[in-house]
């Protein structure tokens, strides 16, 4: 059923009104008045059916996701802090102070799954209009953007052959036990021992012994795989239930060291190995994300995820298209690094690469020097946001997390802009009052002397 509206009562003798508790000039309170909450109700209404129990208010769910990514919290931490913070409750549309959890944290997971990446694009697009209203971004800045790619690491352990074989074996045995399949031998006890010894031999640089233990693990996995295939042959229901898992195990057993599109995690087969040339992390395991920001303010306009490990230049067209969709403004100039040579963008905007000398006006040269500022923006999204490790499931989770991280970064910029303007107005008021006092005091002094 569609989300229920938040009930507002004019008087309640037994509950505290939030507007009597909070400071109404607080930045978060001012920001809540700028947000297009009604647009979210209209955009997300199509995801609900007319029957069933009423869903949670859309403003509550959207507000919790904004707050979660503004302050780099998990679902559980965001819900718990919401109960303690009256400013957060006001931001989410409540009139009276609440003493209980508004939702179970798992509700946020189900809501993200219901809305999907398309809904999160609305969440990100809303920050662009609010930023212009708050003075954080000039509308003309949407015409000059900077584009770069980064890696959004997945929440997986570092993939080694011994760990992958052991994990796949344990998953197969657990599934077989769940469906009542009796195996000839599970090999779980000896497989644990072999994985342990492989790690010890690797640490001691005894690589022949390490490879022998890894070969044992692969043999154990192959035995269990073939045993399950024999036991479920001809049983359509069991074959359907084991199809995905057996396909992953077959892919794991067949892959070689130099193969492409290898399997790096049984629970996250979409993970790709991406090398970005960093000395501290030569290889990262996750999804590639194309980021587009304004050249002047570093405001994020797009966060587009890509499956596999595509060439950076082949991601430019989709990233720019998403940025244009978020703002409704077609960019005139695009600034990128040399990794975008041979790009696939065919729009009317001019694409300028770092190191370019010819055909640049003085203004273009200044804007091209600011291209590297996107690196700092990506760094803030990883340290202050949740781009450094993605805990959401599947390729859909990759897309949702990247969009929400971008929205959280933009909201932090908007809050900083609101705080700056408030401080500027207060300083201007104080200086004006001091000037007025300094002009009135001498006149009063002369009036007293003349009277005497």
Q: Where are the domains of the chain?
A: 18-131, 144-156+271-413, 161-254
Q: How many whole angstroms separate alpha carbon 26 and alpha carbon 93?
A: 15
Q: What is the CATH number of domain 144-156+271-413?
A: 3.30.420
Output the pLDDT for position 180: 95
Output the pLDDT for position 391: 95
Question: Which pairs count as long-range contacts for 31-39, CB under 8 Å and 24+ apart, including other chains?
Answer: 31/91, 31/130, 31/134, 31/411, 31/414, 31/415, 31/418, 32/63, 32/90, 32/91, 32/93, 34/130, 34/133, 34/134, 35/126, 35/130, 36/126, 36/129, 36/130, 37/62, 37/93, 39/122, 39/126
**What are the backbone angles phi and psi of residue 144, rounded to the nearest 5°?**
-130, 110
Give me the count of residues in the chain: 452
The number of angstroms, rounded, from the C-alpha of 355 to the middle of its chain's C-alpha atoms is: 31
Query: What Rg do the C-alpha atoms of the chain give, in angstroms?
Result: 29
Question: Is 223:185 a contact under the CB 8 Å cutoff?
Answer: yes
> For the chain, which residues score pLDDT lower than 50?
10-11, 441, 444-452
Question: Is 153:284 a contact under the CB 8 Å cutoff?
Answer: yes
Output the pLDDT for position 452: 43
Q: The whole model's pTM is what?
A: 0.89
Tell me: the pLDDT tens digits for 408-438?
999 999 999 998 866 666 666 677 666 666 6
Output the pLDDT for position 427: 66
Output the pLDDT for position 436: 65
Q: Could you count the other beta carbons within 10 Å of the beta carbon of residue 437?
A: 9
Q: Could you count the other beta carbons within 10 Å of the beta carbon of residue 158?
A: 8
């Amino acid at each position: 059923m569609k989300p229920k509206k938040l009930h507002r009562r004019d008087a309640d003798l037994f509950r505290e009104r939030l507007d009597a508790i909070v400071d109404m000039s607080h930045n978060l309170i001012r920001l809540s008045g700028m947000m297009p909450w009604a647009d979210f109700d209209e955009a997300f209404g199509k995801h609900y059916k007319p029957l069933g129990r009423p869903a949670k208010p859309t403003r509550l769910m959207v507000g919790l996701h904004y707050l979660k990514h503004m302050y780099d919290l998990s679902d559980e931490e965001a819900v718990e802090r919401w109960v303690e913070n009256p400013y957060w409750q006001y931001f989410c549309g409540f009139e009276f102070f609440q003493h209980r959890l508004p939702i179970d944290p798992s509700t946020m997971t189900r809501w993200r799954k219901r809305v999907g990446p398309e809904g999160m694009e609305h969440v990100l697009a809303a920050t662009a209009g609010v930023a212009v209203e708050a003075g954080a971004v000039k509308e003309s800045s949407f015409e000059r953007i900077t584009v770069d790619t980064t890696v959004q690491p997945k929440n997986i352990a570092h993939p080694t052959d011994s760990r992958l074989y052991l994990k796949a074996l344990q998953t197969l045995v657990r599934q077989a036990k769940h469906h009542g399949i009796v195996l000839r031998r599970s090999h779980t006890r000896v497989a644990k021992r072999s994985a342990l010894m492989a790690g010890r031999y690797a640490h001691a640089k005894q690589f022949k012994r390490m490879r022998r233990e890894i070969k044992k693990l692969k043999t154990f996995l192959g035995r269990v795989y073939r045993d399950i295939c024999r036991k479920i042959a001809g049983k359509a229901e069991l074959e359907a239930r084991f199809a995905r898992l057996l396909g992953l195990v077959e892919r794991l057993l067949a892959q070689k060291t130099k193969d492409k599109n290898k399997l790096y995690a049984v629970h996250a087969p979409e993970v790709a190995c991406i090398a970005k040339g960093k000395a501290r992390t030569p290889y990262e395991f996750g999804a590639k994300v194309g980021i587009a920001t304004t050249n002047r303010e570093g405001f994020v306009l797009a966060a587009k995820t890509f499956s596999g490990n595509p060439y950076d230049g082949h991601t430019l067209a989709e990233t720019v298209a998403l940025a244009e969709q978020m703002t409704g403004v077609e960019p005139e100039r695009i600034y990128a690094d040399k990794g975008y040579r041979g790009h696939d963008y065919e729009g009317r905007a001019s694409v300028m690469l770092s190191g370019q000398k010819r055909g640049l006006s003085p203004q273009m040269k200044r804007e091209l020097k600011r291209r590297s500022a996107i690196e700092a923006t990506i760094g803030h999204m990883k340290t202050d946001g949740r781009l450094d490790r993605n805990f959401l499931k599947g390729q859909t989770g990759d897309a949702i997390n990247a969009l929400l991280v971008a929205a959280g970064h933009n909201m932090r910029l908007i809050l900083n802009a609101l705080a700056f303007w408030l401080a500027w107005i207060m300083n201007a008021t104080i200086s004006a009052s001091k000037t007025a006092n300094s002009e009135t005091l001498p006149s009063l002094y002369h009036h007293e002397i003349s009277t005497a």
